[in-house]
Structure 1
Amino acid sequence: MATTFDRGVHLGGDDYNHATDSDYKRLRSQADQLYQKRQKLSSQSQQAYKSGDKQKAHELSEQAKKILAEAEGYNRQAAEYVFRENNADSAGDEIDLHGLYVKEAEYILQNRLVAAIGSNQTHLNVIVGKGLHSQGGIAKLKPAIDQLCDESGLRHRIDSKNTGVLIIDLQGAQLSQIPHKWTVPGNNQQQQQPQYQQQPHYQQQPQQQQQYNNNNDSNGLVGVLVKLLCSCINSK
């Protein structure tokens, strides 16, 4: 699926962002269409239940569940694709979050920070973009990462040469300061993978939220992430 492109210096202004790739857009679009279909089926199921046709309500509900699984599968593929392609030539001290939804970016960055702190990295450059392609031109990743850093006590600042990059200072950072909900070695509580239904974009009901498959499959988002993290750390 991946296409090879000539890319400039990763943190430079000429870098190629794979969130503009047709494959990426197709996957996100397919997910959106399926979420809309699922929402319609859920509405029909509720109407059938209210009218007393519980059998039809159940059948529609089961169809909605299958559609939901398909939608999340497309979103997972999109996240894997854009993260892999945008980070193919990343340096050991940077990570590119372009094209990821907020929950995806938070999950990946939390794992990356744990790995960086564990390997005594001094800093991490996080490419979040300037929000130029966000809905309404309002950046969503930067505020989320600001909050993520604040809750873990990590100092961070905007790169003076590129406002689309956040520099997280890891000097003296300890794994003990990382929130328990993050995936930290020794924690018994496994951090949950992204729940797409928390994206306002989809307007899903809380009781209908479902997670990614949490099997840590080597072909899944976690597998791609771990492989990339290892290659980044080993390249230092």
Structure 2
Amino acid sequence: MAKSVQLSNGRLWKSQKAAKKHFSEMLARYKDGEHISNYQDHSDLSALLERFDLIFADGPSKIGAGIKRFERRLNKGDGWSSPGFWVIRDDNTPTDFSFPNAVDGRPKSDAEEFSVACHNAVSRDLLGMKQRQFDHFAGPDGLIACDITGNLVAYSEAQLSHAHPPFGIIVKEFRKLKGWQDSIPPGTLTASADAQISTHFADDAVAREFLNFHHDRAVLRIIGKDRPPISMSATININRPLRFR
């Protein structure tokens, strides 16, 4: 059964999907750096931020000193960027917030946050590996063959994928190695903070440890982002298996 979403300003959607569609379409109406000028949009975001603070009560308040305005900004990480809503408080301090998380009404689990930290620990290396593959194997046209379909793809159309084992399995094996199967020790991950787009390991030594563990386990491949779905029984030919070592 679809879960309805109701905000303190009286807005009501019959499902989380409908609420996310509303805020996604709102985000698309503005450009990066533009203030959210429409009164109803501002009201909806203010009420959504109240919901966010109630859900993530253990972290710092996003509303803080009060809401001055909202903006659309471009969030950036290693090899990715995506637009999002930011709130500027009355004391002029800015911070981001995730409207999908606020709509879902559920913070990420420790296991989900741990997986994000693991990915952040290796993201730069993955980008470097992808670039090296194109430097070494691309033809004069800059294209390289997808390791699943054999179709030629450009750098922007390709992604580096884990052939085996899947990334989630590597993360689980690392947790087992550390003795963290049941729980993750407090302080292992960065605490929520203003303008912190993603979760990282609080200790760089743990990040390096996972990086080295990932190097030893991961077999990668170049695939097209728009490749057709592969059935579970399909045979995957890895023409150019990539290893860090």
Q: Which band: TM-score by shorter chain?
A: under 0.3
Whose Rg is larger?
Answer: 2
Higher-strand-fraction structure? 2
Structure-2-length-normalised TM-score? 0.23
